[in-house]
């Protein structure tokens, strides 16, 4: 029986890498699938990992209908055995219901890869729905570390180098700040997320001390 599987972990835990690996493994077994993403750091219609792997994907928009898309493919004689859905935390919650229907009514496996909580430590609407509907939830085994060395569990957003806990839930940035990038992200342990102590803030404090 097909399943809706939710793979999750903080940034740098290898979600997109696993999404690409899952697609490769499925195709090697002779199965036909489709790869989806949204707001990938590499640009539209792309799924990319931070270790340098990437491939084209179907860009998900707010009005995209997963159930309508798959039924259309099947009606036109095109085989669909599974879907790979990366950056699923950016999807509208109703699209998670569509994916569940794809699994239940069309017997197509769906693999969703997403961050569980945002920079405010709150669930995204889509990940809340994935927790509610998924047949299985998998926590990625690759555990990124906070600057202090403890396992990182929280995603922090920085604007002009300062950690923020307010603002739009969706704001695409990256985990490697550069001179021309205002918005950046960093993974922290709970203690240092609560204290708003990023690596830069800790370094500045040490220099003052």
Residue 21 structure tokens: 């690996």
Residue 67 structure tokens: 């159930």
Sequential DSSP letters for 105-131: HH--EEEEEE-SB-TTS-B-HHHHHHH
Residue 189 structure tokens: 């342990």
Report the side by side order of strands in the sheet with 154-159.
162-164, 154-159, 183-188
Catalytic residues: 87
């Amino acid at each position: 029986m097909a399943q809706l599987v939710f793979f999750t972990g903080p940034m740098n835990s290898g979600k997109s890498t696993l999404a690409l690996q899952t697609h490769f493994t499925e195709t090697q077994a002779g199965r036909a699938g489709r790869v989806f993403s949204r707001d990938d750091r590499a640009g539209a219609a792309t799924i990319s990992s931070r270790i340098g792997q990437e491939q084209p994907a179907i860009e998900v928009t707010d009005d995209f209908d997963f159930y309508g898309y798959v039924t259309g493919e099947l009606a036109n004689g095109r085989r669909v055995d599974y879907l790979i859905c990366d950056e699923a935390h950016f999807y509208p919650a109703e699209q998670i219901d569509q994916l569940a229907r794809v699994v239940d009514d069309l017997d197509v496996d769906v693999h969703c890869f997403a961050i569980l909580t945002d920079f405010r430590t709150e669930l995204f609407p889509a990940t809340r729905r994935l927790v509610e509907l998924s047949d299985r939830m998998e926590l990625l085994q690759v555990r990124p570390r906070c600057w202090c060395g403890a396992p990182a569990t929280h995603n922090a957003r920085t604007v002009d180098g300062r950690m923020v806990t307010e603002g739009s839930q969706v704001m695409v940035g990256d985990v490697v700040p550069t001179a021309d990038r205002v918005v950046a992200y960093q993974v922290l342990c709970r203690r240092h997320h609560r204290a708003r102590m990023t690596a830069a803030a800790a370094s500045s404090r040490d220099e003052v001390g």
